[in-house]
Structure 1
Amino acid sequence: MAGRECGFPLTFISPTSVEEELWPHPGTTVSLNCTLQVPGSCNGSVTWLKDGKAAAYTGQDTVWNGFNSSVKFLSSVLDVNLTNEEDYGRFTCQLQNASASFTLHKAEKAGHIAAVAFALCAFAVLVISIILYIKCRLNVNLWYRDKYGDPEINDGRLFDAYVSFCPSNIDTKFTNFILKPQLENRYGYKLHLDEQSLLPSTEPSAELLMNVSRSRRLIVVLSMAYLEQEWCQSNFRDGFFRLLELSQTPIFIVFENQHRELPAEVIHLLNSHKGTLKMLMWKTNSVSPASEFWKELRLALPRKISLSEGKGDPQIQCQDDKDPMLTVNNEAADLDPDGDLGVRRSFYKTPPPRIAPVTRVPDREPADVDISDLGSRNYSARADYYCLVTEPDL
């Protein structure tokens, strides 16, 4: 950027760099200031180029002297009105063989309207997300549990839940006419109902331990009538911790209209152990099958799987309903794959032909029983169903 016709190099004061880039907004006016330090004997003028061609713009030239007569300053200011696309580009100011350039890029017009609109959209998305989460979180959790959850089969349990309730009028109707039909008939769960005192003494009975151990979950209908039982009135705290020991994450169902009447000790125990138990509130709108009560209860219960049609219990379906103890080679093809329960022939047949009576013959000694194949029989397949008796036991 130097020219030597004036005796020494020309120096640009503005712009500070040979190439300067600007991003003005459409509809504005930008002033391009080109200022040079030239010798006092130089009488040239600054010319402007647009994209390498002579520009239709004319700059306002200004000249002033320096500290001594040997130096002066030459300034040219070009005002560009940015009204359309053609007004953007590369503007070059030059004096003799020295030049500097301004490159104007189009910038999007930003303002408060765009910022406010973006903030409103973000707030609307946040509100909608919260509403969808509140409305659909249980459905999403149920879908995920039903697809990827643990089915809890082959664990030796006979029931999905052990239900303890008080044999009062309200509790009995709720358990037998609402809770049981909904879970068993609609969702396929198997419940064990017990209206006896869950902990009649300080130690649980053997029958209670057996029934609870046969169930995957423990459900307690915690009503005012339930708390009026003798073991609840005498020492509910110890009984409560016994229940936590008997079942992992027990489920307590509390009636909304009785919640305020519950003793303070009971409410404190339930609230202080929320991580180790599940408390559900039965409300007036909980009767609907689509209510949150049933969704939360299903989430607390084990996942149910539907077996293919014609399949039985997955723990015994490989046996083909054929007793392997009575089969010489249990790997051989089963002549009757439907087993004892199958119906392969019609019940309604013609009566069998009449057989003439057989003349009684004198008794003969019974033939010897063939026991040569006893060693090949499979006695271990159903050891939990059969008990072999030896002679010393007789």
Structure 2
Amino acid sequence: MAELCRVSPEILVPATNETLELALGSRIELNCTVHWAAAERCEPTPAWTKDGQWLGSESSQDTTWVAQNASEWLLTSILQLNLTHDADFGVFACWVSNATATFTLRRVEAAGHVLAVLAALLVLVLLVLLAGLYVRCRLSMLLWYRNRYGELEMNDGKLYDAYVSHATAPDDRKFVHFIVKPQLENRYGYKLFLDEQTILPNSEPSADLIMNVSRCRRLIVVLSVAYLEQDWCTSGFREGLWRLLELSKKPIFIVFESQYREIAHPAISLLKQHRNAVTLLVWRAGSMTPSSDFWKELCLALPRKVSFQGTMADPQTQLQEDKDPMLILHSSYLDSGGDLHPDGDLGLRGYAFRSPRPPRIGGLGAPLAPAAGTTEDTQLRDSQRPELDVSDLGSRNYGARRDFYCLVTEDI
């Protein structure tokens, strides 16, 4: 052991006692650096201990040199360790004369990749489930949001929700009258205007078309092969499409899947190019079910429907139930007893200007007309009533009624 210095060397590295957490199998070098004044006639020798036990002198690599200003000496002692066993961990101390530096080595478990891989797989599965749920329920969520927070198209002067144009072919007529019309009117409460005439004769809209389309909020075109055989489709479908875009807001075109793959008409490619301006729907084999995506997409393209309490859709549609009047055996639907909607334009229909009650047109269960003996009692009761009560006409809801009729006669 060399002569001890009168002044203890000062430790530069480490500045404080260090605590290191290392995994099993790591390799580390412990650095202990001290300096002392060059005037000291001493040469300190470093020594290392582990858990209070002295290590051999050959366990470390020592280097001594003079600083640049030649006023002090520097000594570096490096201890190399291979942490392959639990016994290799512990408290190591570097002794240089009267100075001491301590290193505490602790074992930590190495970070495994199993948990990371499991977490990544869990996130991937969750993303796949969310993507599948979005694809499956996207239309339902959009429809729910539209029905709850969508813009209402009311008080716009429109009488119908959609104008349906179709060809006179039997298949097209059956599709419109027996599938589209009952589903939209009876299930969803929309009111349709059906037309099987050519909507654009000579590629120009007629006066009737402009008037009828202006009374409807949307335009639905059943674009079948028979429909594409019309003159305006074969000669100038592009120009006709611009006319329709001027008349209606984002028209709806329905094509059949069985014909969709075989149609070589340029109209299909033109509609695909302008998907932002039109709505193109494909009727497939599974579209017959009420919960299919076809009806959801069609309802999204149609205006938001407002349901009134006490009525289901239009009173006339509820009354006729989408049946052919010529096929109805009983005429009870012609019964005129009372209004269908009590908040309508006329309220309860009674005697006006002391006119007699109109006869009931009903079946066998209809009551008979009053006998002649009760005529005087009726007139006596009528004499005590005002001729016409108009006090509550200002509070009536005229917008809820759709069964208005107008009689137009020619001037004589």
Q: TM-score, length-normalised on structure 1?
A: 0.68
The alpha-carbon distance between structure 1 residues 107 and 44, as it changes in their structure 2 partners (threshold 3 A), is: same
Alpha-carbon RMSD across the aligned residues, in angstroms, is 4.5
- The aligned runs of 1:13-52 (5 Å cut-off) are 14-15=13-14, 17-18=15-16, 20=18, 22-25=20-23, 32-37=30-35, 41=42, 46=47
Runs of 5+ in structure 1 lacking a partner? 50-54, 314-318, 324-337, 342-346, 359-369, 388-394
Contact 1:251/1:300, CA 8 A, preserved across alignment = yes
C-alpha distance after superposition, 1:335-388 (max 9, x if no partner): xxx5339xxxxx979978936989xxxxxxxxxxx9xxx9x9999x99999x9x
Contact 2:228/2:234, CA 8 A, preserved across alignment = yes
Match of 2:144 in 1: 143
Which of 64, 71, 81 is matched with 1:66 structurally? 64
C-alpha distance after superposition, 1:238-272 (max 9, x if no partner): 21211111111100011111123334421231122
Measure the CA separation in 2 of the matches of 1:280 and 1:312: 24
Match of 2:361 in 1: none
CA displacement at 1:76 relative to structure 2: 6.9
C-alpha distance after superposition, 1:6-50 (max 9, x if no partner): 2456244643x435564423675755443445677366765769x
Match of 2:5 in 1: 6
The alpha-carbon distance between structure 1 residues 122 and 254, as it changes in their structure 2 partners (threshold 3 A), is: same
- The aligned runs of 1:1-394 (5 Å cut-off) are 6-8=5-7, 10-12=9-11, 14-15=13-14, 17-18=15-16, 20=18, 22-25=20-23, 32-37=30-35, 41=42, 46=47, 55=51, 59-61=55-57, 62=60, 64=62, 66=64, 73=75, 75=77, 77=79, 93=94, 95=96, 98-102=99-103, 109-309=110-310, 320-321=343-344, 339-340=348-349, 354=373
Contact 2:64/2:76, CA 8 A, preserved across alignment = no
Task: Tell which deviates more after alignment, 251-260 or 231-240.
Answer: 231-240
Measure the CA separation in 2 of the matches of 1:349 and 1:296: 52
Q: TM-score, length-normalised on structure 2?
A: 0.65
Contact 1:165/1:221, CA 8 A, preserved across alignment = yes
CA displacement at 1:121 relative to structure 2: 3.2
Task: Tell which deviates more after alignment, 6-15 or 127-136.
Answer: 6-15
C-alpha distance after superposition, 1:280-319 (max 9, x if no partner): 1111122122222111111111112222237999xxxxx9
Measure the CA separation in 2 of the matches of 1:65 and 1:108: 35
The alpha-carbon distance between structure 1 residues 105 and 167, as it changes in their structure 2 partners (threshold 3 A), is: farther
Q: Which AA in structure 2 matches 1:292? A: D
Q: Which AA in structure 2 matches 1:6? A: C
The alpha-carbon distance between structure 1 residues 111 and 377, as it changes in their structure 2 partners (threshold 3 A), is: closer
Contact 1:48/1:57, CA 8 A, preserved across alignment = yes
C-alpha distance after superposition, 1:144-190 (max 9, x if no partner): 11111113122221111111000101111111111111111221111
Q: Which AA in structure 2 matches 1:217? A: R
The alpha-carbon distance between structure 1 residues 178 and 63, as it changes in their structure 2 partners (threshold 3 A), is: closer
Matched residue SS, 1:354:
helix
The alpha-carbon distance between structure 1 residues 350 and 258, as it changes in their structure 2 partners (threshold 3 A), is: closer
Contact 2:11/2:32, CA 8 A, preserved across alignment = yes
